[in-house]
Amino acid sequence: MRPNRFGVFEYPIAGKDREWPVVVGWILVMVSFVIPVAPLVPYLGYLVRVLAASSREDATPPIRTDPVGLLTQGILGSVIVATYLLPPVLALLVTVYGASERAGAVDVGFSDSLVLYAGSTVVLAVFLLAVFLVPIALARYADDGFRAAFGARGIAPVASHAAYFARWMAGTVALVLTAAFANVAVQVDRAGPVIASLVVAYGVVLAAHLWGVGVRLARER
């Protein structure tokens, strides 16, 4: 990958397609304000490519080549993300609902409350673990196929490495900051969704790159 003046922050526009990945993502995110979810599927396919390229230390991948493959990667990537995240999300919603119901009751015993909140903590920890594993699973899928996304032998060594944890944290911080900036930008009159979409399109590519770098470093060390 060629050196650049702005380090990791230049990654989303540093490839052969230059600004096109961000521009295409910008358009897809804007369309998602009108048609929820569906326009984001091909962009998820591009993020899978970013993860794979970063895990191999390749340049920023192009977005204008093989659109059918991009859509396929987006669909299968969505299945992988849903498989990892949907069960803990549903469990978390159930526990939050149970906690709110218990909070409204006047005769809740200490033991019942302890069990409920301990269960909520466990479910939250499982959810965070799933979020932690998703980038590794997507990188494995891009390299070795769909089944590899669920193989513990390929995922566990990366997940247990400090190098991956550090870059996962960096990517997650980038994603949280992206969400925060987008949330502020969307409040701007008329232009809000346009600005927020651009922020999201750039930020998710940056986060995926950082996660991919973490996967690569964990594999090498």
Q: How far apart are CA 142 and CA 205, in angstroms?
A: 16
Four-CA torsion 77, 73, 2, 161, nearest 10 degrees: 30
Looking at residue 203, its pLDDT comes to 94
Q: Please, what is the end-to-end C-alpha distance for the chain in angstroms?
A: 20
pLDDT digits (tens, 9 = 90+) for 66-89: 889 999 999 999 999 999 999 888
Tokens in use for 120? 């909520």
Q: Are 75 and 100 in contact (CB under 8 A)?
A: no
Looking at residue 1, its pLDDT comes to 46
pLDDT digits (tens, 9 = 90+) for 94-122: 776 766 666 555 555 556 566 667 777 88
In this prediction, residues 161-180 reach a mean pLDDT of 95
Looking at residue 33, its pLDDT comes to 85
Q: Are 149 and 140 in contact (CB under 8 A)?
A: yes
Q: Are 41 and 71 in contact (CB under 8 A)?
A: yes
Phi and psi at residue 93, to the nearest 5°: -65, -40
Q: How many other CB atoms are found less than 10 A from the CB of residue 38?
A: 11
For helices 110-144 and 162-185, angle between their N-to-C axes, nearest 10 degrees: 100
pLDDT digits (tens, 9 = 90+) for 6-18: 678 888 888 787 8
Cα dihedral 187, 188, 191, 196 sign = negative
pLDDT digits (tens, 9 = 90+) for 136-166: 999 999 999 999 999 999 999 999 999 999 9
Task: Please say if the pLDDT value at position 3 is more than 90.
Answer: no
